[in-house]
Amino acid sequence: MNIGLSEIIEIPIIVAILLVASIVFFGAVFCFLFYLQQSKRMRQAEQDTAALVAEHNAIIQSLNHKKDLEIARLKTIVDVLQEKRQEALDDLSAAKKKVELLLQRCARSVEKEASLEKEKALIQRAKEQLLKDFEISANKLYEKNQRHFFHTSKTSIESVVSPFKSQLQAFNRRVEDMVQKESNQRVLLAGQIVELQKQAHHLSSEANSLATALKNDNKLQGSWGEIILERVLEQSGLVQGREYHTQKTYVSNNGKKQRPDVIIHLPEGKDIIIDSKVSLVAYERYSSAVDRGEQEKFLSDHVDSVRAHVKSLSLKKYESLPDVRTLDFVLLFIPIETAYLAALQGNSELFMDAYRRSIVIVSPSSLMVALKTIETLWRQQKQNVNAEKIAVSAGALYDQFVLLVEAFDEIESALRKADDVYGKARKRLVDGRGNVLHKVEQLRMLGAKTTRQLATRHQSEDPGDDQSPSIDYTIEK
């Protein structure tokens, strides 16, 4: 295909035109975008300027408000200061008036002082005359009261001390008796334990003799076991109805009535329940058997019988009775000592198995030791109560003794004061310079009409007397 020269020249021109057009277009677009950006910046600058102006105005307004508040506060302070200044001026004026009033009172007081001096002189003379009369009367009264006081004080002191003396003697006797009883009881307890062993063996012998008669009657066996238990209780020293009760009925939480054989009361409100169980048939067969195999069989039966009693007793839950403050275990009493020993010999774990069920197996001898221990606890508690009473009485006695000593101190102080007063009165009456007896005797010697005369022992000379007939009525102080 043939292309002309003009066509070849037109192609670059078109391309150049398109290129120029593109440049112009993109330049226009760039200018437009630049314009938009500058416009946005201008608007932001205007907004920032407006915000700054608003903030400036707010600050100016806040400062104006604070200025107004400060001016108001200063005005208030000025008003308060003016009020206080006025109050101070008023107080100063009032103080001036008070000073003037006090000056007037002082002037009047000076005027009164002269008249008071005159009255004081009159009162002094009257006082001296009264003292003279009082000293004369007081001396007579003192001598009379002193004799009466010594007589009555001796009687009253003896009446007060005598009960204390008897109480102290009684207190010493009670303490000595208590110590002696305690020592004797300890000696007796050792002997009683030995005696208990003998009684236990005796009870076992009696039990063996009754075994044949009882082995076929379960009810009779139970009654016999309870009788043995009562005999042990009687020999323990405990008192029925006070330290223990028998066959007392209780109602469990589920409403079922239960009647333990014995409830032993401990000090501090605790209880121990004892239930008698007789395992006689298997034990009698074991005792009568000759063949070793039969002995082992019957001994196993005896252990099983005791274990059955343990189980049945544990199911009764005596320790959970609402009206009983029992310990965490119940005593299962086996009245035959040898049956008890045979059961423990047949199974060494029997005792601990029962204990895990809160059951303690006891025989007459071991129960007697426990009961004697309980009886000792009760006796010691009674002694402790008596000791507390003795201590309280001793404390009260000591307090009264302290009061008595304090009373004697007060009596001694009063006697000393009375003796001092008596000495002063006697000095003024008889021994001192210008004494009253001398002045009175001078009155008689000057010619006073009298019907009586002082005894010679009361007539004394004034240590300061110059044999002048003049009378000095001054009283030494």
How far is residue 441's CA from residue 454's CA, in Å, rounded to a whole number?
8
| pLDDT at position 454 | 66
Q: What are phi and psi of 53, to 5 degrees?
A: -65, -45
- Classify residue 197: in a domain, yes or no: yes
Q: Does any domain span residue 382?
A: yes
Q: Is residue 112 part of a domain?
A: no
Name the DSSP class of 267.
G
For residues 175 and 333, what is the distance between their CA atoms, to the nearest angstrom?
A: 40
Structure tokens at 157: 């002191």
Within-domain flag for 146: no
Residue-level pLDDT at 420: 81
- Determine, yes or no, domain membership for 250: yes
Count of domains forming the chain: 1
- Cα separation, 402 vs 18, in Å, equals 137
> Mean pLDDT for each 10-residue chunk of the chain (477 residues)?
57 78 80 80 81 81 80 80 78 76 72 67 60 59 58 57 62 67 68 67 62 60 78 83 80 74 81 80 79 85 87 80 75 86 86 87 86 84 76 75 78 82 75 72 71 63 49 38
Task: Establish if 260 belongs to a structural domain.
Answer: yes
pLDDT of residue 160: 53
CA 423 distance to own-chain centroid:
54
Under 8 Å between Cβ of 233 and 370: no
Sheet architecture: strand order including 244-246: 244-246, 262-265, 271-276, 330-333, 359-362
Residue 390 lies in a domain: yes
Q: How far apart are CA 432 and CA 476, in angstroms?
A: 8
The answer to whether 374 touches 238, Cβ cutoff 8 Å, is yes
- Does 466 reside within a domain? no
pLDDT computed for residue 202 by the predictor: 67
Q: Which residues are CB-neighbours of 245 under 8 A, at least 6 positions away?
A: 262, 263, 265
Looking up tokens 């300890």 gives 186
Radius of gyration of the chain from its Cα atoms, rounded to whole angstroms: 61
Domain that holds residue 202: 176-396
Q: Which residues contact 64 (CB under 8 A, 6 or more apart)?
A: none
pLDDT at 472: 41
